Amino acid sequence: EVQLVQSGAELKKAGESLRISCQGSGYMFINYWIAWVRQMPGKGLECMGIIYPGDSDTRYSLSFNGQVTISADRSNSTAFLQWSSLKASDTALYFCARSSVAGTHDAFDIWGQGTMVTVSS
């Protein structure tokens, strides 16, 4: 079964660092773009950035450039989303999603279950 499994919910304090993960299985992880998507409470979907695990080519959406770091570990078929200093406004549900066609930008056919990050001030 093709799936993305994300790490569990996090409760952190403002100023702390955090890395959440998204592990793919059932397909050739390195060949498909992965996106990280934020959903703030009661709000819509926002793409934070994308990564191609094959060569770690990473692109950040304008609003998130410099705010987070996206990376991937090919050997463990895992993508990561990282913050060096969390803010209360980072409180949100974070999804990873796979672009459906190898090597190209297409619809996101596989989604992780989501990781809830709560940051207290």
Sign of CA dihedral 64, 97, 45, 92: negative
Minimum distance from residue 72 beta carbon to other proteins (Å): 16
Q: Which is nearer to other proteins, 62 or 66 (CB)?
A: 62
DSSP assignment string, 35-59: EEEEE-TT--EEEEEEEETTTTEEE
Phi, psi of 29 (to 5 degrees): -55, -40
Least distance (Å) between residue 62 CB and other proteins: 8
Least distance in angstroms from the C-beta of 44 to other proteins: 4
Residues contributing to the site for other proteins (CB under 8 A): 35, 37, 44-47, 50, 59, 61-62, 95, 97, 100, 105-109, 111-114
